[in-house]
Amino acid sequence: MIIARRLFFFALTLLSARVGAAEWRHDLYVCVNLSGQGSVMGRSGPLLSGLYRSTDRENFEHLGPHHIRTFSLAHDPSDPARLYVALLDGVLRTPDRGKTFRIVTSWDMTEAKSISVDRNRPEHVYAAIPDGIAVSHDRGQTWQRMNAGIRRAYTEAILVDRTAAGRVLAGTEKGLYLTEDGARTWRRVHGTEKVTHSLRQSPHDPKVFFAATGGDGALWSSDRGLTWTRLAGISTERTLHNGEFDPRDARRLVYCGWGAGVQVSEDGGKTWVDRTAGLPKREVWKVAIDPDLPDRLYAAPYMEPLFASDDFGRTWRKLQWEKANVFDLVFVPRK
């Protein structure tokens, strides 16, 4: 018993030293709805929905307006202090990491679901909205719809290719669309009858893209999004919410979904292992991989706490809140 106790406290000491010694190069931003705990949009109280930030991965501070439908966040690659937030009212912008905010879209351009900034032309910002693509050419000052070529314009995922200015992929309810001229024209590169919920580009190989869909499985492209194939071994009967590449290890990926739980691959997507055990349910809104902590995963089950794992999903612990719907987890560079 004494030996076991000593081993336990030794393990805790190692974990604390590892976390304490972490080189925090990013802040974690969380888009969360806490209305299930008695919080109502527009009314102040102890539990505020909207945008939170953690600088140490253990403590979280609320930023900006109290809003139960805050969907996603992106930062300006040329100035990480400038953030764009997609929410029910449109697009919020902050120039100072959340000290001040203002809505930059008009009354007729609302319900933004995702947002992406062009790394090679950072004054250009793209947002996915119910009736297509909203584009700003002046860092969010003004916006216009640019949907030419898109059939059935409802769009939930948008991602700028980091290797080429004006090259953008959009996930709609009728498939994946590509523009190579800054949204002036679009063409469909993959057809589907299911909504695409998430698009990601590999941090290791910019030709590789991953798409999570609402009933067409997970899609994979190895040619910069020109052609797509369905990944084998992933069910098409589940709604997938998002997938992520491990920024440290090109072999590692993770995805989550409704009934799909959390699934991880350590061989580049060839095989998948269920890592849901330890979570309270298999309905998972969002999953993320920490760029600063090796093996750290986050998972957000529906109406449950945000969970963290320090062994790539083998075990889990509660991290924050009690009843939450986390819509996005984004890591923003500090410099």
Write the secondary structure of the chain as one string of H (helix), E (strand) and C (coil). CHHHHHHHHHHHHHHHHHHHCCCCCEEEEEEEECHHHCCCCCCCCCCCCEEEEECCCCCCEEECCCCCCEEEEEEECCEEEEEEEEECCEEEEECCCCCCCEECCCCCCCCCCEEEECCCCCCCEEEEECCEEEEECCCCCCCEECCCCCCCCCEEEEEECCCCCCCEEEEECCEEEEECCCCCCCEEEEECCCCEEEEEECCCCCCCEEEEECCCCEEEECCCCCCCEECCCCCCCCEEEEEEECCCCCCCEEEEEECCEEEEECCCCCCCEECCECECCCEEEEEEECCCCCCCEEEEECCEEEEEECCCCCCCEEEEEEEEEEEEEEEEECC
pLDDT band at 12 (very low <50, low <70, confident <90, very high): very low
pTM of the model: 0.90
pLDDT band at 36 (very low <50, low <70, confident <90, very high): low
14 pLDDT higher than 50: no
pLDDT of residue 72: 97
């993320």: which residue's tokens? 288
Contact 149, 187 (CB under 8 A): yes
Residue 113 one-letter amino acid: K
Q: In the predicted model, what is the mean pLDDT of residues 116-135?
A: 96
pLDDT of residue 22: 61
pLDDT of residue 157: 96
Q: For 266-301, how does the pLDDT look when each residue is reduced to its tens digit (9 = 90+)?
A: 999 999 999 999 999 999 999 999 999 999 999 999
19 pLDDT higher than 60: no
Contact 329, 288 (CB under 8 A): yes
126 pLDDT higher than 60: yes
Percent of the chain with pLDDT over 90: 84
Q: Which candidate, 100, 56, 96, 58, places its Cα nearest to that of 76? A: 96
pLDDT of residue 20: 47
pLDDT of residue 286: 97
φ, ψ for residue 180, nearest 5 deg: -125, 10
pLDDT of residue 16: 42
Least confident range of 6-15, 49-58, 260-269: 6-15
pLDDT of residue 24: 87
- Strand 144-145, strand 125-129: pairing: unpaired
Q: For 295-328, how does the pLDDT look when each residue is reduced to its tens digit (9 = 90+)?
A: 999 999 999 999 999 999 999 999 999 999 999 9
